[in-house]
Amino acid sequence: MSKPVITVEHLSKYYRLGQMKSAQSSLLSLKSLFGGRRGHDPSRDLWALKDVSFEVPAGQVMGVVGRNGAGKSTLLKILSRITDPTEGRAVVHGRVGSLLEVGTGFHPELTGRENVFLNGSILGMSAQEIRRKFDEIVDFSEIGNFIDTPVKRYSSGMFTRLAFAVAANLDPEILIIDEVLSVGDAAFQKKCLVKIRNLMKSGRTVLFVSHNIGSVSELCSSAILLHKGRILTVGTTTEVIEQYARLIAKESATDAADLADYDAAGVRILSVETRKASGAPETVFDISDELILEIDYEVRAVLETLQLAVVVSRNMSELFSSFDTDDLEMPLIRREPGKHRATLHIPAHFLKAGSYSVGVNLGTVTTLLLDIPSAAQFTVEELSENTNYRSYKKERLGSVICPGTWTTTNLS
Amino acid sequence: MTVPVEAEDNPHTVVLYPRTGLSALDLGEVYAYRNLLYLFFWRDIKTRYKQSYLGGVWIVLSPLVSTAIYSVLLGYLARFPSDGVPYPLYVLIGITPWQFFSRSLSGVSTSLADQQVLINKIYFPRILAPMASVLSAAFDFGIMLVMMFVAMLVLGIYPSPRIVLAFLFVLQMALLALGLGLILTGLDAVMRDVRIALNLVLQVWYFLSPVIYPISVVPKHLLTFYYLNPVAPLIQGFRWALLGGTVTPPPLWSILSSGAFTLVLLFVGTLFFQRVERTIVDHL
């Protein structure tokens, strides 16, 4: 094992929340700036990072994953010398370049050319270095003749392309990358990804922070899972991602509606569950998983024309509804008393990543008997696949993965 | 807490730890970042008057208008004495260094908060931000200086070799503004009240300094108090160095006390700033 390039020992960072909210708290902030810790309400404080220790060996590409607020940004801020830690220390051997925020320091009134020089210097390049790489940067950005136009006239795509081009041509020994993969259009993203992969393969030590598990598992050999400021796991990417998935599952298993509260004359819902294809109950699915929705209900008196409906919502807005009678020729079904199980198979590669909730209602043709708005929840994640250049990447437009297929034929 | 020492096998090795106590300014690092300092300065100059029709003309317009107003009000109507020099030139030679001082001071005082986007994302020696503010004020001063010299030549007043002293007074003014501003900018980053209060203070300070009137109007028994204002001997000295004979030079003791004041402020300001910059991001 090679010598560590980054050594982090018991690193902690303490934040006082509610700073800058009022004159009073800005006085508190002033006090805290000079080290005093008395005279404030500690319940509003937070250890953004607590006792974090790890090492990154030379040449390794290490992923950092965790939910929002897990401490990822704080860790990067300390490692890129933007703020001091509160406790502990870190030793960084080598020049650090960070792709934390592409386009930082770009000035709208300056031309593309001027901004390349300004931004390059801000990111730590020398003037000669920028001059040497200038053509390469312009080529990569595909800006062409617009290089002498003020960047305020650029489209947002052009802006990000130029900004990324500068950052990607940094030549540091240690590279810190934070969520830069979502810039530009799909084609440019692919180009960025190739560029980043090359940077990573060139023997640089890389710290790669992302929400996107797909790109972490593709690019990183090892990873760290941060949760509420602490390290939960350090290990191989696979281990860490599994742990991360379990964590998400636990957090998203918020209590579903209490089914016992819904009891109508003659009928009640017993359970609403989501299962994997194997039949095992599950609340976290990958986009490549088939999902089985299982609803058990009890009929106590004969019901003519009973119909069960589910309404599946993604990220709080209704995605589709489906009736248990959709597949039948004659949708007016009579249900005898007793327990029934309705099962809906949702095919793999249909639901995009997101958080879902399932509403269930039961009724006859004329009357709605039961309506449970949120009977179950589940999430779909992009665990197995890097979706950076897929149309169904979580952040892109649209709510489902199109089940259609594409072909392109050569017409010439 | 002792500073952890690591085997320096890489010139770029950095140890990050909670710094406590006072630390000196790392001049070597500032020198290493000189290109960025220049670019900050250049960006400020380049963008300030972009998309304005008159552009750089605005730099000279404001002192010209002030000069015109004071010339009419004080020079022509109130018949202020001006040590035998035409009043308009007399007041212009006061306004030019004052504007340099006040622009430097307010620029430095707001520099941390004004650069917060960058400070939030990227490491660089934070002191570059206030330093660039002084440079940018110096650029304006240079342009005003040209205008001032033109006015002198037109009126047939030629500077003597004493002019070298004028630049020393200006340099001291820059250091004074930097020292005081370094204290204020850390406070301003947390409480923006500081910049508003500073504007008010500068207005009062302006009238407490020999900018628009000659020292001779100050009552003799108050002169000692008057010269305790560290800016007063510098502006009076600047005017004396340029106009010579008819203008009374500031007493030597006042130059020395102003110098001592400048050094103390610069020292305290730098230490204070070095202390504040470590975690200023958390408070912006």
The residues that bridge with A356 in the sheet, in sequence order, are A314, A378
Q: What is the pLDDT of residue B3?
A: 41
Tokens 């976290």 -> residue: A284
Strands (E), A37-179: 45-57, 61-65, 87-92, 96-99, 174-178
Q: Of B118, B265, B238, which Cα lies nearest the Cα of B184? A: B265
Q: What is the pLDDT of residue B203?
A: 95
Q: What is the pLDDT of residue A253?
A: 55
Identify the sign of the CA torsion A119, A122, A125, A127: positive
- Look at residue B100 and tell me whether its pLDDT is greater than 70: yes
pTM: 0.74
Q: What is the pLDDT of residue B2?
A: 38
How high is the mean pLDDT in each 10-residue block of chain A (412 residues)? 83 72 56 57 74 90 85 88 90 81 77 89 85 91 89 84 82 77 66 77 83 74 90 87 76 59 78 90 89 92 88 82 88 87 94 88 84 85 82 83 92 88
CB B121 to CB A121 under 8 A?
no
Q: What is the pLDDT of residue A347?
A: 94
Q: What is the pLDDT of residues B199-216, one digit of tens each?
A: 999 999 999 999 988 888
Mean pLDDT lowest among A66-80, B170-184, B249-263: A66-80
Average pLDDT over residues B16-24: 79
User: CA-CA distances (angstroms) from residue B258 to B100, B132, B198, B236?
Assistant: 17, 24, 20, 12
- Look at residue B230 and tell me whether its pLDDT is greater than 90: yes
Q: Which residue of B has its CA nearest to A94?
A: B12
State ipTM. Answer: 0.81
The domain ranges of chain B are 55-283
Say how many CB pairs under 8 Å bridge A and B. Answer: 123
| Chain A residues near residue B12 by CB distance under 8 angstroms | 93-96, 173
Percent of chain B with pLDDT over 70: 96
* Residue A280 near chain B (CB below 8 Å): no
| Chain A residues near residue B119 by CB distance under 8 angstroms | 82
Q: Which residue of A has its CA nearest to B119?
A: A82
In the 8-state DSSP scheme, what is residue A16? E
Q: How far is B3 from chain A (nearest CA, A)?
A: 11
Q: How far is B11 from chain A (nearest CA, A)?
A: 7
Alpha-carbon span B248 to B271, nearest angstrom: 37
* Residue A35 near chain B (CB below 8 Å): yes
Mean pLDDT lowest among A42-51, B33-42, B98-107, B108-117: A42-51
Alpha-carbon span B255 to B237, nearest angstrom: 8
- Look at residue B176 and tell me whether its pLDDT is greater than 90: yes
* Domains, chain A, with CATH or none: 4-250 (3.40.50.300), 259-381 (2.70.50.60)
In this structure, the strands spanning A222-227 and A61-65 are parallel
Q: What is the pLDDT of residue B247?
A: 84
In the 8-state DSSP scheme, what is residue A259? G
Which comes out higher in pLDDT, residue A388 or B140?
B140
In the 8-state DSSP scheme, what is residue A183? -
Q: What is the pLDDT of residue A210?
A: 76
Q: What's CA A145's distance to the chain center, in Å?
A: 36
* Residue A94 near chain B (CB below 8 Å): yes
In the 8-state DSSP scheme, what is residue B71? I
